[in-house]
Structure 1
Amino acid sequence: MVGRDVGLGIRRAATEPSGGRMLELVGVSVPGKLDEVTLRVGAGQLVAVAGVEGNGQSALEDVLSGLAADPSGAVRIADREVDISSPRSLRDAGVGIVPSDRYTRGLVKSLGIDTNLAVDSYTTAPLARRWGRLSRNAVRDRAERIIAALSVKASSPRTLAGTLSGGHAQRVVLGRVLDGAPDVLVVAQPTRGLDVGATEFVWDTLVEHRARGAAILLISSDLDEICSLADRVVVLYRGRIVAEFDKGPFDREALGSAMGGFQEVAA
């Protein structure tokens, strides 16, 4: 399909022990959607949240994006509690979000790639200049650098984001989030709708950032993705964590049973 060999069947678990606790959720709830969710992700570790869609994954993504309605509980980044009602507080604490819907939350389709890449950093140098003015040269230079680094297929930095294929749109979202080298990366359904080549690129990018020490929380309904990438898996069912799997390779039958609510599995 892509004219080359791809390695989607290769397990990509971390080879080194994870570092200290970086992301911690304690008793996080959203009325009618999440019920007392507690989990931890260490530096250099990728923890997957598995589950059939509609069991609280979107609410968990909202909490970690600062967009949830009436959340309770605590979220700590490197042992410091952050305000989960504020997207800016989470971003300033070092959390990067790759949303599940790249076209409604990740990109503004009617704007160019360059502008989309600037939306979360336009208030800081080098993009921001004195008196609140924006440096168009800096915006263009940053866009050119990210486009080249991620091999985004576009005729220019001003190409409208809405004209990109799903794979290249996801590269733009990843490029914007990862350019800030976040300590914590929350990635929701990152390869939904992508071809095998784009999927391999996303998986390899996540592995690369785990290797540099990022704590990654992967929210996914794709068992192949989970079993290939995760160091640890928790299963979300009806808003609760009902199973934990601490070490791979993972038992797909047990994972599937837990995702369907047929059994609870202790760590």
Structure 2
Amino acid sequence: MSLGVQQRVEILKVLSRGTNILILDEPTSSLTPIEVQDLFKTLRKLKASGRSVVFITHKLKEAIEISDRIVVLRKGLVVGEVPAGQASPEQLAVMMVGKEITPHFTRRDLEPGDPILIVKNLKVMSDYGTVAVKNVSFEVRTGEIFGIAGVEGNGQSELVQAITGLRPVAEGEIVFKGTRIEGLNPKKIYKMGIAHIPEDRQRYGLVLDLSFAENSIIGRQDEPQFLLKLSRLNWQKIMEYARSLIQKFDILTPGLKVPVKSLSGGNQQKLVVGRELSKEPVLIVAVNPTRGLDIASTLYIRELLLKMRNEGKAVLLVSADLDEIMQLSDRVAVIYEGEFLGVGKIEEFTREQIGLMMGGIKKGV
């Protein structure tokens, strides 16, 4: 099952036990807006019946909406408590980070260029032999962010895996820079200019027991700049490169030789993003790039993606976070059960319309 389906099953299991104290850790991360409101109704009923709920989240608006009291943790310590009715997202953000956070999203007015990625009538199978992607067609142009919104488990993982060479294509075409790439292995595809920020950094983006420096060159370890004679690794160059990532992408790490599992989730994600963007790609495929990150890391990653777009790169953003889709996308498609229910410019849709389509309802679109 996908992460989203697993999460919903766990919530239902806990609620079915008639518990008196319910602890929920990021329970809405893979739910549609409609499902979030359904969950909130259930939580309010539990509260009215005398039960207690601990709601752990980094989504500030949701914390204010559902909570009576909000306690803020930073680096494992309680830094403050405030009644929800007196809290604002800006106030909570300062408490979480320890300083004022000012978004610097600058969207340059760009006329998108030619399509660099063209997907035609794509059909992809799941691991279970069912059709995961059903006759999907779209294109991504230079100088734009094309967002794909959807609750996890609706075919977006298989779609991205097909584009990046990690899963075979059953039918259809994937054309990148005028060349069909279905059937090519991931290494060849990446060398053509595609960077991939995977949906699960620990499973697909990093080798947790390897060092920071070793993880910094995954996928690039055979490039001449990192090799000596007889294909031996040039550790001096690797260390210099790793230091450059730390400086350029503001990564906090105890050292270059420490296992990458010792880094926080936000800094692990910055390493993956920095490594991929340093390949100087022309297309960035980013899947849930800010999931589970604190507000500062989230803003940083989103600003980087917008910067790539402003520099004329193409970005394919696949996300279950509706705020992220609305904030970053120039055009958007909504995927449900492997099909696109709607495709168009972001300003052509309301937040409510996209939320409904994420749940399979196309009313009013």
TM-score where L is the length of structure 2: 0.69
1:2 is aligned to 97
For 2:228 and 2:116, locate their aligned partners in 1 and report how far apart those are by CA, in whole Å.
33
2:58 is aligned to none
2:159 is aligned to 60
1:75 is aligned to 174
CA pair 55-205 structure 1, distance change in 2 beyond 3 A: same
Aligned length, in residue pairs: 265
Paired amino acid for 1:189 = N
Contact conserved, 1:67 with 1:85, CA < 8 A, in 2? no
Paired amino acid for 1:16 = L
CA pair 82-228 structure 1, distance change in 2 beyond 3 A: same
1:153 is aligned to 252
**Residues 139-196 of structure 1 deviation map (CA, whole Å, 9 limit, x = unaligned):** 1110011111111111211121111111000000011101111001000001110010
**1:11 Cα deviation after fit:** 6.7
CA pair 77-155 structure 1, distance change in 2 beyond 3 A: same
2:242 is aligned to 143
1:230 matches 2:303? no
**1:50 Cα deviation after fit:** 0.4
Is 65-74 or 36-45 further displaced after alignment? 65-74
**1:65 Cα deviation after fit:** 2.3
**Residues 245-266 of structure 1 deviation map (CA, whole Å, 9 limit, x = unaligned):** 3142740111011111111787
Other structure's SS at 2:224 match: coil
For 2:270 and 2:335, locate their aligned partners in 1 and report how far apart those are by CA, in whole Å.
27
1:112 is aligned to 211
Using CA pairs under 8 Å that are at least 6 residues apart, name the structure with larger relative contact order, 1 or 2: 1
1:258 matches 2:353? no
Contact conserved, 1:242 with 1:264, CA < 8 A, in 2? no
Q: Note the residue ranges of structure 2 that are not aligned, 5 or more in a row.
A: 1-95, 126-130
Contact conserved, 1:167 with 1:198, CA < 8 A, in 2? yes
1:16 is aligned to 110
Other structure's SS at 2:272 match: helix
For 2:158 and 2:364, locate their aligned partners in 1 and report how far apart those are by CA, in whole Å.
23
- The one of 220, 224, 227 equivalent to 1:125 is 224
**1:4 Cα deviation after fit:** 3.0
**Root mean square deviation of aligned Cα:** 1.8
TM-score where L is the length of structure 1: 0.94
2:124 is aligned to 30
**1:89 Cα deviation after fit:** 2.1
**1:6 Cα deviation after fit:** 3.1
Contact conserved, 2:163 with 2:182, CA < 8 A, in 1? no
**Residues 189-239 of structure 1 deviation map (CA, whole Å, 9 limit, x = unaligned):** 011100100100000110111111110000001010000000000011110
Contact conserved, 1:23 with 1:78, CA < 8 A, in 2? yes
- The one of 44, 50, 56 equivalent to 2:149 is 50
Paired amino acid for 2:220 = S
Paired amino acid for 1:55 = N
- The one of 182, 191, 206 equivalent to 2:290 is 191
Which has a greater percent of helix? 2
Larger radius of gyration: 2
Q: Note the residue ranges of structure 1 that are not aligned, 5 or more in a row.
A: none
Other structure's SS at 1:147 match: helix
CA pair 245-13 structure 1, distance change in 2 beyond 3 A: farther
**1:12 Cα deviation after fit:** 5.5
Identical pairs, percent: 30
CA pair 212-30 structure 1, distance change in 2 beyond 3 A: same
**Segments ≥4 residues shifted beyond 6 Å:** none
Contact conserved, 1:84 with 1:90, CA < 8 A, in 2? no
Paired amino acid for 1:151 = D
For 1:238 and 1:192, locate their aligned partners in 2 and report how far apart those are by CA, in whole Å.
21
**1:86 Cα deviation after fit:** 1.1
CA pair 104-178 structure 1, distance change in 2 beyond 3 A: same
Contact conserved, 2:164 with 2:196, CA < 8 A, in 1? yes
